[in-house]
Structure 1
Amino acid sequence: MAGKVVLHYFNGRGKMESIRWLLTVAEVEFDEVFLTTREQYLKLLSNGDLMFQQVPLVEMDGMKLVQTKAILNYIAEKHNLHGKDLKDKLMVNTHSEGVMDLMEMIMMLPFAADVKTKLDNIQNKAKDRYLPVFEKALSGPIYLVGGRLSCADVQLLECTLMLEEKFADILAEFPNLKSFQGRMTSIPAVSRFLQPGSKRKPQPDGVYVKTIMEVFDIKSPFL
């Protein structure tokens, strides 16, 4: 029998946060090993655990999984959160890719030299390119694809909450998304994850940035 899922990452959101969200919705318990030193990272490299020398790393079902999208797809497929047929899986992946494009822009903010310019760009792209797509997709169905909960819905919820942390009223023009957000947060597992003391991580701070720089031996964080 496989042991508990173990996540290897920093004590912060980054690319692991979507994995935490999806495991939570799938009601899979997990432990975490936080990277705090370069020695930990080098040990993972020397053990051959990081195929592309990158984290996230997830120990699951007797395997050591890397690459965020591959990990998310594996969890989604295993827990029936990936669409009922090939066409639905395609649309789930399409929506997920769009959400991840937007979230990755937010993830990079702590490493930006000109945060205001980056924020303006994120807000404009969110309102003009991404949110209208999801608003239209949710004009009738309660979920994005096939009338059933998928990993794309979980990621979209995570993304809307991240956006509201930066732009409090950004969903004011998107009532379908706001209703969707309300439905999703009423799911018991999601509701628990949003409570203080859960394994959900806060917005990144200076300690998070400093740790990443030290672990990866980065001299300057600014892009």
Structure 2
Amino acid sequence: PHPYFFDYHRKYRPLFTTGRCGAMRIMMADQGLEWEEIVVDFADWMKGDLKATCVFGQLPKLEDGGFALYQSNAILRHLGRNHDAYGKDGKEAALIDMMCDGVEDLRLKYAKMIYQEYDTGKDAYIKDLPNHLDKFEAVMAKNKTGFLVGDKPSFADYSLFEVLLNHLVLCSSCLDTFPSLKSFVDKMSARPKIKVFLDSDAYKKLPINGNGKQ
């Protein structure tokens, strides 16, 4: 009944329980899209039948009619192309790709700490975090529109927003010295459809990470 469908397995690929699909959910909510999300039970996944149909043996998967797509950032780019969230021209699109890759670097650093080094590396990660956030602060401050590229949110903005929300749970003061990023989070959070989604039980019931750390 809805144009977008997710197959999403939290236990199998738990880099971000709200995250690998989190930016997609936020983006689709903001764009006014409806979707059906299918969560695959761990036991069913381990049977291997569904895994064998996945191009890289991984979820999430997006289905749009007869079109199937894997890899979270590829899905974000697909949504960006189809919903005017990929810049106004080729140069802006290239910059958005660059920012998306930068967000992915931060996402992976966070995931490594959460899943491999939480007990021994959390404090060091938080101490070093400004050295990563300052890059995004500089871009946001220079653009002066409240977004990473151009004058409206791109798929990279949705990805950065979702990652920053997770970091604010990790360290509530992490944006205190980054006024552009703090304003960005406030601005995105106040967008009416995003606000409704973030206030929904569907969003609140999701743990941030698959191992319970946050």
Q: Does 2:65 correspond to 1:34?
A: no
Secondary structure of the structure 2 residue equivalent to 1:138: helix
Unpaired runs of at least 5, structure 1? 209-223
Per-residue CA deviation, residues 149-170 of structure 1 (Å, 9 max, x unaligned), is 2111111111111111001101
Query: How big is the shift at 1:24?
Result: 1.7
Task: Tell me, in whole angstroms, the C-alpha distance in 2 between the residues paired with 1:198 and 1:59.
Answer: 20
Whether the aligned pair in 1 keeps the contact of 2:96 and 2:156 (CA below 8 Å) is: yes
Task: Give runs of aligned pairs for residues 90-129 of structure 1, distance below 5 A.
Answer: 90-112=94-116, 114-128=117-131
Query: How big is the shift at 1:174?
Result: 0.4
Per-residue CA deviation, residues 8-30 of structure 1 (Å, 9 max, x unaligned), is 11243242222222222222111
Task: Tell me, in whole angstroms, the C-alpha distance in 1 between the residues paired with 2:57 and 2:104.
Answer: 21
Whether the aligned pair in 1 keeps the contact of 2:19 and 2:208 (CA below 8 Å) is: no
2:66 to 49, 55, 62: 62
Query: How big is the shift at 1:109?
Result: 4.4
Whether the aligned pair in 2 keeps the contact of 1:192 and 1:198 (CA below 8 Å) is: no
Residue 209 of structure 2: aligned partner: 204
Residue 13 of structure 2: aligned partner: none
Q: Does 2:189 correspond to 1:185?
A: yes
Whether the aligned pair in 2 keeps the contact of 1:9 and 1:57 (CA below 8 Å) is: yes
Per-residue CA deviation, residues 54-107 of structure 1 (Å, 9 max, x unaligned), is 111111132111111211100111001111111101111111111121122323
Residue 213 of structure 1: aligned partner: none
Secondary structure of the structure 1 residue equivalent to 2:87: coil
Task: Tell me, in whole angstroms, the C-alpha distance in 2 between the residues paired with 1:207 and 1:176.
Answer: 30
Residue 82 of structure 2: aligned partner: 78
Query: How big is the shift at 1:120?
Result: 3.5
Residue 5 of structure 2: aligned partner: 6
Whether the aligned pair in 1 keeps the contact of 2:103 and 2:160 (CA below 8 Å) is: yes
Unpaired runs of at least 5, structure 2? 11-16
Per-residue CA deviation, residues 104-125 of structure 1 (Å, 9 max, x unaligned), is 232344532x313332353244
Task: Tell me, in whole angstroms, the C-alpha distance in 2 between the residues paired with 1:30 and 1:93.
Answer: 25
CA 1:142/1:108 → structure 2, altered by over 3 Å: closer, same or farther?
same
Runs of 4+ displaced beyond 2 Å: 10-14, 37-41, 104-111, 116-126, 198-202, 204-208
CA 1:98/1:118 → structure 2, altered by over 3 Å: closer, same or farther?
farther
Residue 138 of structure 1: aligned partner: 140
Give the paired residue count. 203
Task: Tell me, in whole angstroms, the C-alpha distance in 2 between the residues paired with 1:203 and 1:26.
Answer: 23
Root-mean-square deviation (CA), in Å? 2.2
Sequence identity, in percent?
25
